[in-house]
Chain A
Amino acid sequence: AQKVTQAQTEISVVEKEDVTLDCVYETRDTTYYLFWYKQPPSGELVFLIRRNSFDEQNEISGRYSWNFQKSTSSFNFTITASQVVDSAVYFCALNERRSKLTFGKGITLSVRP
């Protein structure tokens, strides 16, 4: 069974629109960690956020915000007032106690001027 599902494969928005990237995960562990990474067109992978399973507080960092809901096994990522520089592939990932990080297949976000 897929452990991290990013059902959206490609999203296209116009600059200044808000956009939410969905992530649904599956685990039997009570202790786990969730991550989001960004891969811009240049190809490097950039860490955005880490969240542990005991901390359900939402997090905001500038235009970025994350909504973690254990009840629905989701860890969604919202970009407010999107910019062209936000164009990238975004990966959600799950780390369980067995220490392997499992990535979703990624969402390609295109922000048009």
Chain B
Amino acid sequence: NAGVTQTPKFQVLKTGQSMTLQCAQDMNHNSMYWYRQDPGMGLRLIYYSASEGTTDKGEVPNGYNVSRLNKREFSLRLESAAPSQTSVYFCASSEVSANEQFFGPGTRLTVL
């Protein structure tokens, strides 16, 4: 089992460009999450999907959109990237929302 996979691992964008971060899990988990990690800020929740077909905003949703494509996949889209979105992005999943979350390896995104 691969657990939680994320693509790409690294990405450099110019301001205004768009991109989609992909996430997939093979643990048959119901809930999936997107976080960003910035120095000194811990992890902050961007969006989450408690179950297939539902998505909700987290703490810092502005500038992002998500799609829960199916039970396995949860993508994060930046429509018009800004330098403030330079960060490390983590996808996570859990069997149900109260259980421990398992994290992907992260995507390091730089917006110039």
Give me the interface of A with B, judged by CB distance under 8 Å.
9, 33, 35, 37, 43-45, 47, 50, 91, 95, 99-106
Contacts and interface: CB of A to CB of B under 8 A. Distances in A.
A102 B45 CA distance: 8
A45 B88 CA distance: 12
Contact of B97 (A43, A99, A106): A99
B101 interface: yes
Given A47-B100, A95-B98, A101-B45, 19 more contacts: A37-B103, A44-B103, A44-B105, A44-B106, A45-B90, A45-B92, A47-B101, A47-B102, A95-B97, A99-B50, A100-B58, A100-B59, A101-B33, A101-B101, A103-B42, A103-B43, A105-B40, A105-B41, A105-B42
Contacts, number: 44
Nearest to B44: A103
A70 B8 CA distance: 41
B100 A35 contact: yes
Contacts of B74: none
Contacts of A47: 100-102
A53 B78 CA distance: 37
A18 B111 CA distance: 41
Contacts of B59: 100
Contacts of A33: 98
B99 A50 contact: yes
Contacts of B25: none
